[in-house]
């Protein structure tokens, strides 16, 4: 499936879901829908082994902030789409080789993410969650320490990932969330870096609040 079609499908799915749960909230006495806000810390990394050896790439810290809609399908199962702004990237410190000079700096990526998570709730307040995620890379820069300059990166603008995580919701409405996003898309354009791949990997740790 082409990325444009996938983005359209995701947008339609999210729109249909929010329309459905909004109408369900007004008519369902069980109040299955809970809206919420969230924010937290990112520990991001780029698997760029084809171009730079992994020992010269390190993770960098960032943040995320967003909104969520938690919809109960049953006592144990729920569906949770989210809209998140996320700051990610990686740090590079490569001495270079005979063909490429020293490569030192950090990649700065700003994304809008649209995860749709299936959640299984167990115990008093815990939930396991997993699902697909579409990320739109709205800005991509490399801060080059060698030349003290910032330049735009020529990369793909869509990142498809799969998310895995664990959450905890207190009956006050506050909760904790931890997840790992495994990037499935090679963000290097084939014409720019033929035969090379770079894949995003991000840990996210945050807090959220579900309105009652």
Q: What is the pLDDT along the chain (212 residues), one digit of tens a residue?
A: 455 555 555 555 555 555 554 554 454 535 789 999 999 999 999 998 777 888 889 999 999 999 999 999 999 999 999 999 999 999 999 887 766 677 789 999 999 999 999 999 998 899 999 999 999 999 999 998 888 889 898 899 999 999 999 999 999 999 999 999 999 999 988 777 777 889 999 999 999 999 98
- What pLDDT is stored for residue 33 in this prediction? 94
Q: What is the predicted pLDDT for the residue at 146? A: 80
The structural domains of the chain, ordered by start, are: 34-210 (2.40.160.20)
11 φ, ψ (degrees, to nearest 5): -65, -45
Q: Please tell me the predicted confidence (pLDDT) of residue 5.
A: 53
Residues 6+ apart with CB under 8 A from 41: 61, 62, 63, 64, 204, 205, 206
3-state SS, residue 141? strand
- Pair of tokens at residue 159: 């990142």
From the list 201, 22, 11, 177, the residue with the least C-alpha distance to 3 is 11
Could you read off the pLDDT of 100-110 as tens digits, one per residue?
677 789 999 99
Of residues 180, 171, 176, the one with CA closest to residue 212: 171
Q: What is the DSSP string of 36-83?
A: EEEEEEEEEEEE-TTTS-GGGEE-EEEEEEEEEEEEESSSSEEEEEEE
Q: What is the pLDDT of residue 1?
A: 46
Query: Is the entire prediction scored with pTM above 0.85?
Result: no
Gap between the Cα atoms of 90 and 108, Å rounded: 7
Give kind and range of the element (H or E) at residue 153: none
Q: How far apart are CA 112 and CA 137, in angstroms?
A: 7
pLDDT of residue 196: 83
């Amino acid at each position: 499936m082409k990325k444009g079609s996938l983005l359209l499908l995701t947008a339609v799915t999210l729109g249909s879901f929010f329309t459905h749960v909004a109408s369900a909230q007004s008519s369902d006495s069980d109040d299955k829908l809970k809206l919420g806000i969230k924010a937290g810390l990112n520990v991001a990394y780029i698997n760029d082994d084809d171009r730079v050896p992994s020992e010269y790439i390190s993770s960098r810290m960032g943040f995320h902030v967003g909104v969520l809609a938690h919809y109960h399908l049953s006592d144990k199962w729920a569906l949770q789409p989210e809209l998140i702004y996320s700051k990610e990237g990686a740090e590079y410190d490569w001495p270079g080789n005979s063909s490429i000079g020293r490569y030192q700096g950090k990649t700065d990526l700003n994304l809008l993410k649209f995860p749709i998570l299936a959640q299984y709730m167990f115990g008093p307040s815990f939930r396991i969650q997993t699902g697909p995620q579409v990320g739109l890379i709205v800005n991509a820069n490399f801060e080059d320490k060698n030349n003290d300059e910032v330049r735009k990166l020529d990369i793909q603008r869509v990142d498809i990932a799969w998310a895995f995580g664990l959450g905890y919701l207190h009956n006050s409405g506050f909760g904790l969330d931890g997840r790992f996003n495994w990037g499935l898309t090679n963000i290097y354009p084939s014409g720019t870096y033929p035969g090379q791949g770079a894949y995003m990997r991000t840990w996210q740790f945050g807090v959220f609040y579900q309105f009652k």
